Each structure stands twice: as structure tokens, then as C-alpha cells.
Structure 1
Amino acid sequence: MLRSPVEMWRHHHHSTAIHLKTSNTSRFLPSQNVTIKITRTILSLSSDPNHNLILSQSESLQQSVRTIPPSFPVNIQPSIPVRAYFFSTSVDLRSLVDRNRPNFIPLASRMTNYVVLRFGSTKPEAIGSGACISGSDCRYMVVFQYGSIVLFNVGDDEIDGYLKIVERNASGLLHEMRKDEYEVKEIPTLDTWMRGGLDHIMLQYLNIDGIRTIGSVLGQSIALDYYVRQVDGMVGEFTDINRGMEKTGTFTMKRKKLFQLVGKANSNLADVILKLGLFERSDIAWKDAKYAQIWEYLRDEFELTQRFASLDFKLKFVEHNIRFLQEILQNRKSDFLEWVIIILICAEILISVYDIGHKSLMSL
């Protein structure tokens, strides 16, 4: 007797059951009580003819869901771009302030190696009103006497204009400008005062004290990068001299060139310690623990202590080579003077011999 295809399938698959489940859940938002409805459809197929049917089952489950705090901060303000530049070795701060008196923000600390200037507002409705409450509302420029400039909330198309403001009061302009970028994110709902991230820092709010603190570290960092490269150049120069000495057994550096390297090494070290104030703690950080936390975090983030230690090690290498080459030049000078003395003695002997011979001939 022939079997229908369905009966043959039942015969070979007695205990087979296939279940298809689909569920629809309504999405929920934080801080709201919502109703979740779950609909489930089950398809069952068995060998029993009485069960060859599709069962549909709907269940409604209603429950109040407690407000779940979001895993990410809310009410995030637009990010504030921070850019640091180093294109000169000195800035006349007094002249800069005189030319931009309306934009000058008086300092509340005794630090005199920098000034803060505020320009307008990035909010169209606030332009011209002069009401700039948060650091994210205005463009700020922190200018340091040793040549660093830190810009807050300045667009790419506006950077050149702000740099020209400082350039008119700067001296010792560099051929190559150093640049670094950072970012500040204002998050009023942040569960802590500050939190670090990759190339950015998150704060509950950014005010003028925060701008001064962040600007001081970024200004030191970009300037330190310049001096590190200067010392790297000197290290490379002495490395070439040592390799030449290894091949030829001598060197051809003039005494004047060596003295120039001595002066350059000493001035670089003095600038880093005295001008940059690398080991001086910010006045704002002394007064307020919140800004001390920012100051310490950024110094660790930009590795200022480690970079200065590396710079100091390289300067010691340069100093060792300078002392070595000075001794060689001094020995050369001593050898030259010795030969001059020998030649003079020989000349004196020859003159004496000539004089004796001449007198002998005259006596005959």
C-alpha cells in the first residue's frame, strides 16, 4: 500500500519537533515606565495526526520597568578643540595686551609669564553681548612669554588670524612651527569632576581657571618638544663627529663652532628650566584641588617629567662630548705652543752660532 508523502515523513521522523519563535518587544527609554508586550508563535510538527496543526499563542506581559541609568553621559556639550603652537622664542606680552586691551582677562594669580585673551562668542545670539559664561561659548587664546600659544574653541579657518595677532608682538620666529592638538568635552552629568580619555579630557564644565590650567601644560609640552628636537640635532652632530674620528683618528671642528654648541646647549637647558617653569606648580593648582587633579593628569598624559629626563640625559651626552673635544683642542693648542717654543729656541741657537762664527772671522 502506497503511503502519502506526509505519512512517509512521519514514519522516519517520529520524534522530530520544529519550533519557530518570534518575539516583538517595544523599545524603552531611560527615565520612563514602559509596557513590554511579548508575542510568541510556535510551530509544532509531530508524528501524531492529532497534533499536525499550527498553534499560535500570544502572551501579554505587562510590568513596570524601573528607570535604568544610561551607560553613557547625557547632555553632552559640543567638544572644544584645543590647539597648541610654538613658532617663536619670545613674545612681548605687554605690547600684546596694549594692542588687545578689550580682550584681555586680568590674571588672578601671581604668574606673569602668560596672558589670556577672549574673543567674541561662537553662539550667534551671544555675539556682541559680551556675556560669555562657559569656556565653550567663546574663543580663548593663552599666550606665553616663551613663545607658546594655546587656542580654545577656534575653528580651522580662524587659526591663522589669531596667530598673526601674536606674530606682531613676537621675536625669534622659527622656520618650522610646532603644533599639537587636544580636545575638551564638557559633560555636566559626569559622575566625577574630570575623566581622561584618548587625546581628550572630560570635565563637568570648563571655566577660565580650567583654560589656564590646561593651557599651561599644553604650552609647556609643545615648547619642550621644540627644545628636545634642538638637542636631538646637537646629539646627531656629535654622533657624526665621533664616527668621523673613528674612521680618521682626528676631527676638523673649529674652536668657534665648538663654543657655539656649548652656548646652545646651555641656553636650551636654561630656557627649559627658567622660561618654561617646568618644575613650577600652577598657582591655580595650588589653590584648588580640582585643578590640581587636571594639572597632574595632563602632566602625566603628556609625560613632561619623562621627556625632561630624556632631554637632560641627552644634554649630559652633549656636555661629555664638548668636554672631550675641548681637551683635544686644548692639547692641540699646547702642542702648537710647544712647537713655537722649540722653533724659537732653535732660531736663538742658530743666531748664537752665527754670531760666534762672525766674531771669530772678525778676530782673524
Structure 2
Amino acid sequence: MNYQDYNVDDFINDESFQSYVFDIDPKNELFWKDWLLKNPQKQKEAEIARNILLSFSIKGLDIDVEKYNHDLSRLQKAISDKKESKHISIVKNLDFFWKVAASILLFLGLGYGMSYFSSQEYGKKEITVLEKSNPKGRKSKVMLPDGSRVKLNADSYFKYEEVDNKRNVYLRGEAFFEVSRDASRPFTVYTENISTMALGTSFNVRAYPEDMVTQVYLSTGKVEVKTLGNDKCTKLTLEPGSRAGFHKDDQSLSFEDFNPENALAWKHGTIVFEKSDFQEVKRLLERWYGVDIEVNGNPEPSWRINGAFEKESLDNVLSSIHFTTPLDYSISKDKVKINFQNK
């Protein structure tokens, strides 16, 4: 790992740095203290990242209750809005950062954001909010304030809330969750169509808007999947190795086993195609590599592809497809052109 190239966002998203800041593992504390002593040129960025992470623990902020309700209402409205969130640029100095924190702490840099609300008039009621979004072509790891870990896929967004003894996540895209067990505070992931509730477990949720099926894959523990937004609520309880799928066309919920090596391969940098048609391949490549693909012509209607590509470049993936499919392609930065050689 080349820490010399780290910026503030990299420090924030590094799990070992998070562990050092929150005193989770003495080994990480010793490593980072030693590394920062040897690399004084990075101390300023690391200190900014440290202060941002520690903002999760701010207590007793004396804020205006009316403003609290107004800001909370805006946040709740934003999560229900299907339009892309507008992000505030990265905070460039600590003076400005703490002025914002005095009323409502909001940090959004390269798609990373967190907010914390507290009010004496609400007794011990506190609301912690964290947001993270990845553009196409980027994946990230996030440690939540409760100790849970999230691996967020490319072209994905989630928002985490702690309120009223509940841990709620709102997801668009795909993420793998390793939930820290806390029987007194359920952990629930909400997508547009379903909710997935767990206590201490690990599972994957895939909920891209363009996909016709929203899917939940359970690795360990147990979760309850429930449909949302329709008259008839359907529930399923998953055991490890089973998958729930919500079908958007008929609003039905299905249940079956799954192959974790394929379904969760994205976590390890592997693209897997399983009888994928070209539209599915195009969507996945655009999402995975952060490119726009322009297509001329069409493959045969029966065209499908199977295969796995572990940490391969886009050029290598397209070259492999080229061997079995009559097409030409060119890559120019984030633009790709594919021409099918139709008969």
C-alpha cells in the first residue's frame, strides 16, 4: 500500500487508519504514529481526516431546535428523492469545518459525507447520519460508527442513520454489509422495493435502479427480507447461502440458493458474467470501469456470455469477448466504441 499518495479522502476510507483514530487496534495505532513521524509532509492531511472521523463522537452540540427539524426534514426528503444528490465540495480548512459543525456538521468530499445532530431538549435522543457515494469505476470500504463495515460497489450510494435505537441504511446500487451485533438496535437496509433487517450478520444487497430484480444474498447469520410500497407485504427469512429476489415487473419475492463465488466476486475485484446478454454486459462494464460505451449494430438476439475476469483491464475483457464475437472496439480514455460486424 503506497500511503505516500494518500489524500484526506483516502485516509478517511482506510480501515486501519479508522482503527487508529478510534483506538480499536493497538497495532494500527503503533503503525500510524510511527508512519506519521517518518512522513511529516502527510501529517496535515492525516490530521484533517482524523478530525473528520472524530466528529462522529461529538456530543452535546447546542443547536437550534427549529433548524434541527428543518435540516432533518430536508435529509429525509433527499433520501426519498430518486434524483442524484448534489454534493458540497470538500472542506478546505478546519476553521470553516468547525463553524459548520457548530450548528450541523456536514462534510461531503469526493462523495463522502457525515452529519451529526444532538439537542438537549430531546433528552438523550441523538441522530447520526453518514453518507457515501461512489462514481462509476470506483469501489470503497467504510466503517460505520457502530463498528459495522460496508464495502460499496461502483455507481452506488448509501445513507446511514442512527435514531430511536435503530440503525437504518438507505441504499441505491450494491453493497456488502458486515453488521456489528447489537440486539437492542436492529440494522435495516432499505431499497426502493424491499427492506432487509439483521442483527449481527453479513449479506449483500444489489439494488441498481435499472435492474429488473433487487437481490439480497446472505453469507452469515439470518435476515428478514420484506417488500415495501405495495398493498400485500411479503416476508422471507434467509439462511446462509440463500438469496431473495424482488421482481419489479410483477412485484413478487422469490427464494433460491446461490453460488457465493459468483454473486460476491465483485468484492474481490472479479467480474462475472452468467448467461449475460449484451445490455447487461454493457451496463456492468460501464459501471465497473467508469466509461461510456457507444454501440453500433447489435449482436445476435441469442448472444450470451459466460466468464470471470479477475482484476483484468477493460482492454483484456473486450479482447476476450472479441475472440468469440464478431466485433471491433476502440478505447479512448473514458470513451469506448463497439462496432458489431453484422452479416
TM-score (norm 1): 0.24
Q: Which has the larger share of helix?
A: 1
Q: Which has the larger share of strand?
A: 2
The higher relative CO (CA closer than 8 Å, separation ≥ 6) is in 1
Report which of the two structures shows the higher radius of gyration computed on alpha carbons. Answer: 1
TM-score (norm 2): 0.25
